A and B are shown apart, each in its own frame.
Chain A
Amino acid sequence: MSAIFQDDDDDSVKLYSEDPAWADVVPIPQYQGVDALAPINYTEEYQDATNYFRGIVKTGEMSPRVLQLTEHIIRMNPAHYSAWQYRYRTLLALQSPLEDELRLMDRFAIDYLKTYQVWHHRRLLLVALHSVDAAAAELRFIVRALQDDAKNYHTWSYRQWLLAHFNDEARLWAGERAWTEELLEQDVRNNSAWHHRFFVVWGSGVRKGDEDREEVRKRELGFAKDKIALAPNNPSAWNYLRGVLDHTKTPYSTLSTFVQLYTASSAPAADVFDLDNPPPSAGAELPSVNALEFLADIHEQEGQTEQAVQVCVYVVLRYTFTKHFVAQIWKSLANEHDTMRKKYWEFRIREAMQSR
């Protein structure tokens, strides 16, 4: 049912008004009232198809040709939510095989990755199918879809919804954490993958095998520290680290030793390797502003206001230096530095001084 409008060699427009198979439908033009605001210059093809769609909606017909018509309209305007709504109800009324509809949607999703309706329709189909097998197949489909756009918000939301909605440990949740690890190996700055990991490990309940929360905490802190070692200025990894500490109510000071490796101006001598405190990778840009911020937070949590202020003043001075000297001399370097947040650090100083 999906192929009829896809003949790319045929440039002639298919009009329902010229198709005998649609002769029994009375087309209804769009309402024309007062002078239109922001008038739309419709194509003949779109106008003709939507005239017939309004005709169908009026009579309430739900038939296979309605599926053709709505597909045609959606291809021209994937945000046409009425066409989507009507299509969904027609599928149910005809008891159409919803798996077939999903396969058609696989192509739609890739073509219209950023259209909300494409994903919303999938959700409705999955709810109607009520099948963990179908949900598992969807997880595999999403892996492919993310290869085209690794941070697409709709795609990720859909995955999180699938997992929470079907909530099947063995068939759905089991592979999730390992998969985020794969994604982060490809791109350690993929924040969507970091977020997903947090959702899987902390945000969605306790996964099978993760019952010992103390072990999980250690594992996740270790994971984040290893990734920070690879890229010490990656805010995604630092945010995850903070997220784990906040969620488990662990004082930041427990990571003092680790953080100090990253607040120094240069990497430590590499003679002793402490697995709990991996040092910055060779060539890393130090000190890491993220680490300095973390250090200031440690001091604040411990009530060491003087030290917290000192760290902040140091960062502000560094910003000033970076902005006025480094930026002019080495423009490219300035892009590496976070030069924007001087005011944030000044704010931190004010806040710390007030709490004194």
Chain B
Amino acid sequence: MDSSRVAVIFYSLGTLDLLGAFESKTTAAERESWRKWLWEQQTHGIYGTGFKPGPYMTPEGQSSESSEYDAPHLIMTYTALLSLAILRDDFSQLDRAGILAFLRACQNDDGSFSALPRGGESDLRTAYCAFVISSLLDDWSGMNVDSAITYIRSCISYEGGFGQAPFGEALGGTTYCALAALCLTPSTPSSPRESRLTPAERTRTIRWLSQNQTPSGGFRGRTNKAADACYCFWCGAALNILGAGDLVDRNALATFMSQCQFKFGGIAKAPSERADPYHTYLSLAALALLPPSDADSSWDLPKLDPLWNASEATASWARAHIPAH
């Protein structure tokens, strides 16, 4: 997990956040040291400022200066910023201008974003992270918005979902990324927000998403695949973004989630699999967004911001504390 450590941390902290367990399960001293550790992953260099996954490529005796092989990573930057908001950081150490420069270094000519300034994967996941970061900073000068939107639209598949990249098969996770990104960006003269999905495309996407809720109650990520807890969030939240969250059979969804719960705690991708932080967090996020109607209060979870994928309290904290310019 060296190369995705901050992401794993985000899913773990996010789980505590959604369970409202921060005050009871962690101490102020722990939270303080975690914030410190996360800020140590903010690194500056010729490609601007961002967060790296951890210190795994950082030589002893050196910390904040990034080298080419110890560079900031787009997905880690998104998950680090949200983790800091969960930890109620004051963001006084945030290098706004550096992060915007980093986003510009990651954007490619076709509008897509690479995970790293010089390479790495470029697909709708990295695009989504760039959009959320811009939205968190409330500053869109770190990207060419029009070309980014053109790239996102080029990933629409005939089935109604979005592939991971152009030509790709429709996939639940990247459909969420695309819809959230299109929704996060303010209108531009050449791309008013309401023009970004035609009515026919919207209908087709809703149809495909709802087709993915399987008889098990869980969602699958692709046509004819098996249900997986993480797609309950990706597809359910995508429907929610399209204003069609009420098409989900929520009680069946909750039944599936409860079957995915691992006997020693946590939630797995499917019944009788092993739990992990990623599936645990996303399952709780799905339940927070699409709670069952017939459950007792033990199922109550805080409200979720469906576009940033964080509790509303955490999202408000970020809005209030990330310094403006």
State the A residues within 8 Å of B (CB).
28-38, 40, 50, 54, 57-58, 77, 79-82, 85-86, 116, 120, 151, 153, 156-157, 160-161, 164, 189-192, 194-196, 198-199, 202-204, 234-236, 239-240, 242-243, 246-247, 293, 334-344, 347
Contacts and interface: CB of A to CB of B under 8 A. Distances in A.
B93 to A, nearest CB: 13
Given A33-B40, A80-B56, A153-B164, 9 more contacts: A31-B60, A34-B37, A38-B5, A82-B69, A204-B167, A235-B211, A335-B215, A340-B252, A343-B247
B8 interface: yes
Contacts of A38: 1, 5, 8-9, 12
B116 interface: yes
B60 A203 contact: no
Chain B facing A: main interface SS: loop
B297 interface: no
Q: In the complex, which range does the number of interface residues on chain B fall in? A: 35 or more
B83 to A, nearest CB: 9
Contacts of A204: 167
A29 B171 contact: no
A195 B170 contact: yes
A149 B213 CA distance: 23
B225 A191 contact: yes
Interface string B224-249: 11000000000000000000101111
Given A38-B12, A54-B57, A341 B211 contact: yes
16 contacts: A28-B60, A29-B59, A31-B59, A34-B33, A40-B2, A54-B59, A57-B69, A116-B121, A157-B165, A189-B224, A194-B223, A234-B224, A235-B224, A242-B158, A246-B158, A247-B158
Interface centre among B59, B164, B223, B244 (most CB of A within 10 A): B223
A187 to B, nearest CB: 9
Contacts of B5: 38, 40
Interface centre among B3, B119, B170 (most CB of A within 10 A): B3
Interface in B154-193: 157-160, 164-165, 167-171
B223 A57 contact: no
Contacts of A235: 211, 223-224
Nearest to B55: A31
Contacts of B313: none
Given A37-B34, A199-B167, A81 B58 contact: no
A343 B223 contact: no
Nearest to B3: A79
A31 B217 contact: no
Contacts of B246: 343, 347
B4 A79 contact: yes
Contacts of A239: 158-160, 208, 223
A345 B3 CA distance: 44
A244 B312 CA distance: 42
B144 interface: no
B70 A82 contact: yes
A339 B2 contact: no
Nearest to A235: B223
B63 A243 contact: no
Contacts of B160: 239
A28 B57 CA distance: 10
Contact of B215 (A164, A190, A242, A340): A340
B247 A344 contact: yes
A40 B158 CA distance: 43
B2 A120 contact: no
Interface centre among B116, B208, B247 (most CB of A within 10 A): B247
A314 B12 CA distance: 45
A190 to B, nearest CB: 7
Contacts of A339: 215
B158 A202 contact: yes
